[in-house]
Amino acid sequence: MDGLLALSQAFQQMATGEMLFHVMWATLLGIFVGSLPGLTATMGVALLTTLTYTLDRDAAITVLICMYVGAIYGGSRSAILLNIPGTPASAATALDGYPLAQSGRAGYAMALATAGSALGTMVGILLLVLLAPPLAEAALNFGSFEFFWLAVFGIVISGQLTGGISPLKGYIAGLIGLMVAMIGSEGIHAHIRFNFDMPELNGGIGLIPAMVGAFGFAEVLTVMWRAKANVVNTTGERDRILPKLVDLWRYKFTIARSGVIGTLVGIIPGVGEDIGAWASYAAARRTSKERAQFGKGSYEGLTAAETGNSAVVPGALIPALTLAVPGSAPAAVLIAALFIHGVRPGPMIMIEQPEFIYSVAVMLIFATIAIAVFGLFLTRVFILVLKVPREILMPLVFTLCVIGPYALTQRTFEIWVMVVFGLLGFVLRQMNYPMAPLVLGIILGALLDKSLRRGLTLSDGDLTPFFTRPISAVFVAVIVASIALGVPAVRNAISRTLDRLLKREAERSTDG
């Protein structure tokens, strides 16, 4: 009841003309960014952070959240029309969206994607409002020991789930991020580490310039490297741009399940929208009556993928707000933006700014309404957006990559950081190193470092409390299990044992 009251108060406070104006332009820009292959949600949020630092707190965070929601949704446009996901989050959307477009139902595929995204975000918002306050309260019991394991857990899980066939590359990306975070003044004794006699490095590497490089410059290079894509030209006579309610009702369980899966994936640190979409898609395929249609233009598959990736957005904000641990790469940039605008995410948020979580929920509701309205009524316009030539767009994007990070501190050193991370990010991506653990490493490095040394000081150098305190023990068990499951020999041994047990059980039941 208190939550509902706080939500309605936040709604009254946020529903101003100025705020709605920000919602409209930022969501529209987000959809534009997301729908263009090469422009990702992380890049959009990072670049927009540099443009919003003169706005007040609520307006700036609204703009960034609208950009995030809009970009994740916008990725479905190019996935459906070009068979190229506008953002990695829409890779699963392309599996069914593109075959639908080829069969002349592009408009209806986009309408279903819009409805799925809006409903998925709504499920996520509901869970955000329900889960974030108790999670923040539970996190108040965390000490240095627990925070150390939380940081390790974030890197390990993120590396495990985003590393693809080799979690090792995910772990290495996470370690690179943690190493980057070791540069500059450390948080306990203010000792300056690894500055290589460059005073500019005393304050460490800024997250925003690094992200703009790794997600902006690297994307510009990727787009210019690859051949141009062609927009599918098959708008059929039977095509429609509004979703049928009967279809949405038929997939009500798929929508609810995908929304919950997406939100839960979002809560896991550094995993992100693409895993949310794939997990929802896989769950829908496993339980669907029209399983054979998946991959050939299934409405249910498309709805599951879009609901799943959009639900990750509110999910990723749950740990970002309550633990200062991002659930996805754009959420990591959002944490940096929150600090810039005077919000201190973490367990203290429900004590220092208890209304803020509800304000974020209202911002997400506004963004969801905006994507539903723009998505359903501007379908034809977004097809035109996909036709903007890369030769026009990319130099403008790179110019923003240069001036954006510079504008934050007015130091040309930030441009150097952006360029180095851009080139490094491009090479690492071509070698199949995921970027999410790297981002998470940069943001969690200070927490891991301070928590370990503070914990050791409190226990006078004794490691036992790191393993015996209840929450720490749970974290250790999950971390060890995740790493063990990443080792093929262990995985094979477990699956052999399970097979043997199942076989024995089947034999016993036939004997009985």
Partner 1 sequence: MTLDSATADRWTSIVLFAVGLAMLVGGYTMDRLEIRQIHPASIPGLVPMILGLAMMLCAALLFLSARSTHMASKAQLADATGSSTATQTGKDAEPTAPRATSNRDLFFAASYSVVYALALVGSLPFAQATAIYIAVFYTHFTWQNASNPTDHLKRIAFGICFGIIGAYAIASLFQYGFLVRLP
Rounded CA gap, 390 and 317, in Å?
32
User: Among 226, 224, 286, which residue's Cα sits nearest to residue 254?
Assistant: 286
Q: In this structure, how many other beta carbons lie within 10 angstroms of the beta carbon of residue 288?
A: 17
Closer to partner 1 by CB, 54 or 510: give it: 54
Would you say 229 or 248 has its CB closer to partner 1? Answer: 229
Closest approach, Cβ 498 to partner 1, in A, equals 21
The β-bridge partners of 193 are: 184
Indicate the residue among 226 and 240 with the shorter CB distance to partner 1: 226
| 192 class by beta-carbon count within 10 Å (0-12 exposed, 13-18 middle, 19+ buried) | middle
Q: Least Å distance between CB 432 and partner 1?
A: 6
* Sign, Cα dihedral of 85, 88, 90, 92: positive
Contacts of 197 (CB under 8 A, 6+ apart): none
Residue 258: exposure state from Cβ atoms within 10 A (0-12, 13-18, ≥19): buried
- Cα→Cα distances 467→140, 146, 149, 297, 476, Å: 19, 10, 10, 50, 7
Minimum distance of partner 1 from residue 403's CB (angstroms): 6
- 42 Cβ contact list (under 8 Å, min separation 6): 211, 215, 329, 330, 332, 333, 435, 439
Q: What is the 3-state secondary structure (H, E, C) of 197-223?
A: CCHHHCCCCCHHHHHHHHHHHHHHHHH
End-to-end, the C-alpha distance of the chain in Å comes to 53
In this complex, which beta carbon is closest to partner 1, that of residue 244 or of residue 341?
Answer: 341
Nearer to partner 1, 347 or 441 (CB): 441
CB of 476 to partner 1, least distance (A): 16
Task: Pick the closer one to partner 1 by CB: 134 or 164.
Answer: 164
Closest separation in Å from C-beta 443 to partner 1: 15
SS3 105: strand
Alpha carbons 244 and 455: distance in angstroms, whole number: 57
Question: Smallest distance from the beta carbon of 445 to partner 1, in angstroms?
Answer: 8
SS3 185: strand
Strands 184-185 and 192-193: antiparallel
| Residue 213: CB minimum distance to partner 1, A | 10
Q: Whole-number minimum distance, CB 179 to partner 1, in Å? A: 6
Q: Rounded to the nearest 10 degrees, how much is the dihedral formed by the CA atoms of 235, 280, 70, 438? A: -130
Given the complex with partner 1, which of 287 and 457 has the nearer CB atom?
457
Q: Closest CB to partner 1 among 145 and 356? A: 145
Q: Which is nearer to partner 1, 237 or 391 (CB)?
A: 391
Q: Classify the C-alpha dihedral 359-33-178-91 as positive or negative.
A: positive
Q: What angle do CA 302, 97, 278 make, to 5 degrees?
A: 45
CB of 84 to partner 1, least distance (A): 8
Q: Compute the least distance from the CB of residue 373 to partner 1, in Å.
A: 27
Distance CA 191, CA 457 (A): 17
Closer residue to partner 1 in complex, CB, 356/398: 398
CB of 56 to partner 1, least distance (A): 14
- Cβ-based nearer residue to partner 1, 22 or 169: 169
Smaller CB separation from partner 1, 119 or 151: 151
Q: How far is CA 146 from the centre of its chain?
A: 24
Task: Give, in order, the Cα–Cα distances in Å from 397 to each of 110, 124, 480.
Answer: 26, 31, 42
Question: Taking the complex as a whole, how short is the minimal distance between the CB of residue 248 and partner 1, in angstroms?
Answer: 25
Identity of residue 245:
L
Q: Is 241 helix (H, G, I), strand (E, B) or coil?
A: coil
